[in-house]
Amino acid sequence: MAMLEVKDLEVYYGVIQAIKGISFEVNEGEVIALIGANGAGKTTILHTVTGLLHPKHGSVIFEGQDITKVPAHKIVTMGMAHVPEGRRVFAELSVYENLKMGAYTRKNKDEIEENLENVYKRFPRLEERKKQMAGTLSGGEQQMLAMGRALMSKPKIILMDEPSMGLSPILVNEIFDIIQAVSESGTTVLLVEQNAKKALAIADRAYVLETGNITMSGNATELLNDTSVKKAYLGE
């Protein structure tokens, strides 16, 4: 059984149909990439899966349970975390306070502390800057903080929206190494990314989106070597 199943999803913004009846699934332990040009509907899909938007038609099934109408804050408690596009850290709070916000659904103090230690191990820079206001961090550090904050809820699956956006090439490599490490530690990953080359390099499978439709899907390595994907998304 797939961990996450999206069936016949249709999403509208007013009269404009953004998502046109798509279906896909994510199995436990996989890294799945959704790639496509700007405006293809990638972010809309993540917002619908995490309950921030409601579809006109179709369903979202998480671990066998229909969560299509479940409010976003409840979905978090079920084990799904979302790293939004543009990072969205709490600028006026310290790094430490931002991380603690990520654990608000959890009650066990010892576990939260243990998680914090793990996040600091994975992101040493966050520990160095734990007292610093999040708004004063660089773009790359804010991205790390957004990822660390999501990991504080100890999610079964983490959804990441354009994690490499606006970062320097060196930082992009670092962020993708971290995504791979997150996956290797047992967390399932659904990744929305414009940097198709990087996304396909770490994904198991991928779906190509064009104006609200899935036009291709398959093994990530095969898609990386596919002529039409190369031409459209890899600048080759």
What dihedral angle (degrees, nearest 10) is formed by the CA atoms of 59, 150, 167, 135? 120
Percent of the chain with pLDDT over 70: 99
pLDDT value of position 69: 93
Highest mean pLDDT out of 35-49, 57-71, 76-90: 57-71
Place of tokens 């016949």: 8
Residue 236: pLDDT band with limits 50, 70, 90: low
CA distance 51 to 61: 12
pLDDT value of position 142: 92
Place of tokens 């953004």: 18
Query: Number of structural domains, the chain?
Result: 1
Residues of the domain holding 123: 4-233
CA distance 187 to 41: 24
Mean pLDDT throughout 91-104?
92
CA distance 34 to 231: 17
Residue 194's nearest CA partner among 225, 231, 165 is 165
Residue 178's nearest CA partner among 205, 131, 146 is 146
Mean pLDDT throughout 125-147?
92
Task: Give strand ranges (E) for the chain.
Answer: 4-13, 16-26, 31-36, 57-62, 65-66, 80-83, 157-161, 188-193, 205-210, 213-219
CATH of the domain at 174: 3.40.50.300
CA distance 24 to 47: 15
Question: Residues 208-222: pLDDT tens digits?
Answer: 999 999 999 999 999
